[in-house]
Amino acid sequence: MEQFDYLRFIASLLLVLGLILGLTWAFRRFGPHALGGVSGAKRRLSVVETLTLDAKHRLVLIRKDDRDHLLLLGGSASVIETSAIAKEGETG
């Protein structure tokens, strides 16, 4: 009976590894949009730039709709500045 238990263990391990590999392949093939992410719609939120200040703090510039927001992330999140952005193509 001991050899049968080892064989069953190895078969179960191969089955689980096969499932993991199959799910990994499917996720890479179909992408995160298959899980319900934004696919054809225009995204309203994006990370424009990040700057690491030290081990704990980071400045993050995000854009939501037509506004930029500068955030200081670390122990707690703080909004440093909020401003309207210039339309693309405008200078000054």
More confident position, 13 or 35: 13
- Token look-up 């400045």 returns 59
**Model confidence pLDDT, tens digit, residues 2-34:** 989 999 999 999 999 999 999 999 888 887 666
Residue spans of the domains in the chain: they are 1-37, 42-92
**Pair 21, 28: CB distance under 8 Å:** no
How many residues appear in the chain?
A: 92
Q: Which residues pair with 82 in a beta bridge?
A: 69
**Pair 57, 40: CB distance under 8 Å:** no
C-alpha to C-alpha distance for 15 and 27, rounded to whole angstroms: 18
pLDDT band at 36 (very low <50, low <70, confident <90, very high): low
pLDDT at 64 over 80: yes
